[in-house]
Chain A
């Protein structure tokens, strides 16, 4: 049975440096991502919902511009308006991030994965780099696509912005980054909760339900709290060109989002390293 003995070359094993250890795990995560339909479907949904729904809404806004109130016209932010689809696409990218890990728990693949990377945290880091990286690339593409399609639809009906205008590239690029940060928050929550339904429900709560609950608060309290909501940061801080009262500036907002993602991943890593799988 000489066939059992490997004939392929195996790299010599020494204690690898963190980066050397990470590269093979990142390759593994890339193969995992590519080889499942669910990743492709959630990414496709992210594209269609963000660009498609965004375009529909922008066409509506363009058509009804004549009836818009004076205050709406005064605070008109065509860049921000063109990125409106992100509010819907964020859910798809959240599902993408959650499934990256909860699907492993649901199927039992997690045991194979942990047997291959028993120190665990490097696997989480590799997953974050690969899934976050893919969400970033797709997120940037659809943000810029949304921007240009949006301006084209608004053009001729409303004042529009140009990509070279101050703050425009920043608003579009940070909207793309928002997708990546949501995927990382989702990944961290997925690692911590391990179950698809629970993790997605938590994210829907954080991203969609909590903001509408806050809307019921007295204005003072609302203004104090709302600016911390991830979805509000994307809509009113990082994705805005015309500054909005009571919200963070774009870079503060971005820092807060990064903090959330880091926190979620840290909690995920902490629980992942300690639990039985």
Chain B
């Protein structure tokens, strides 16, 4: 299956750099999360990959080819770029049919997909009356129409209910398990951390992180908050044991490098009274925020 290779991709809209010298590769066989706050340039990057916008510099290739050089591209790449990029007066079936016809795909495939995304009952209704969630389901059907090896989904979870979210997670996993390349964008880490094995994080159009999902959490393994009246004596004990200690209050320390049980045991052994012991697991969300925040202040 084809990889997506983005090389020094740059796109400027007027004075603002939407995408700034971005380089990354999306490998087949796994779900790659594409993360960044709203306005970070995720959608623009995806539009550049899909040949909808022209880059000012750099390239975006799929299986070594520019999207524009792929004849009948929906057989190779399927995308959900935004919900409801659809004429409100056309039915879901007609929308899929015109796209199918443009790629020499039989209409049987259209019915199959309407069934798969759960829109068979609403297939002949005008999409103007669709909810956001139904629009997303139709978008997924569009993306999968040509049975593509590369699937690109921009914020597919938006507007989906709990069942819909679970459905799309399972779908994406199974697509990746079949060896396809899956790129999934979101501005919420919690949304993609469950599904994505790999993360590409951007902020202000620039690459912030390109790493396995668990590494992003391991980097910030969390800390332990300890309330102890003999603050400084405890600090000495913990530092001697290899912890990194920061003073938070007259009686409060924040410890990194040691787990909460370790801190408790060390304090007990040194006979230092402890009044509170709070493990602070940095959530993925915090890690993500920290990453983008530190990037923001650095630039």
**A residues lining the B interface (CB < 8 Å):** 1, 3-11, 13-16, 21, 24-25, 27-32, 34-38, 103-104, 107-109, 111-119, 274, 276-277
Contact = CB atoms under 8 A, between A and B. Distances in A.
Contact of A112 (B67, B70, B142, B147): B142
A28 B168 CA distance: 28
Contacts of B218: none
14 contacts: A8-B109, A13-B71, A24-B101, A25-B102, A27-B101, A28-B99, A32-B90, A34-B94, A107-B88, A108-B84, A115-B52, A115-B74, A117-B102, A277-B53
Contacts of A274: 54
Given A6-B112, A6-B147, A111-B52, A24 B103 contact: yes
B68 interface: yes
Interface in B37-85: 47, 50-54, 67-68, 70-75, 79, 81-82, 84-85
Contacts of B85: 107-109, 111-112
B149 to A, nearest CB: 11
Given A3-B116, A112-B142, A114-B51, A10 B74 contact: no
B209 interface: no
Nearest to B74: A116
A9 B106 contact: yes
Interface residues of B, number: 50
B99 A6 contact: no
Interface string B182-207: 00000000000000000000000000
A108 B82 contact: yes
B260 interface: no
Interface SS majority for chain A: helix
Nearest to B109: A8
Contact of B79 (A31, A109, A115): A115
Interface string B114-158: 011000000000000000000000000010101100000000000
A109 B105 contact: no
Nearest to B111: A8
B71 A15 contact: yes
B112 A3 contact: yes
Interface string B154-176: 00000000000000001100110
Contacts of B112: 3, 6-8
Nearest to B126: A37
Given A115-B73, A115-B81, A10 B98 contact: no
Contacts of B170: 1
B108 interface: yes
A107 to B, nearest CB: 4
A9 B91 CA distance: 24
B16 to A, nearest CB: 14
Contacts of B146: 6, 10
Contacts of B72: 13, 16, 24
B87 interface: yes
B99 A116 contact: yes
A113 B79 CA distance: 12
B104 interface: yes
Contacts of B86: 107-109, 112
Chain B CB within 10 Å, residue with most, of A9, A31, A111: A31
B71 A16 contact: yes
A24 B52 contact: no
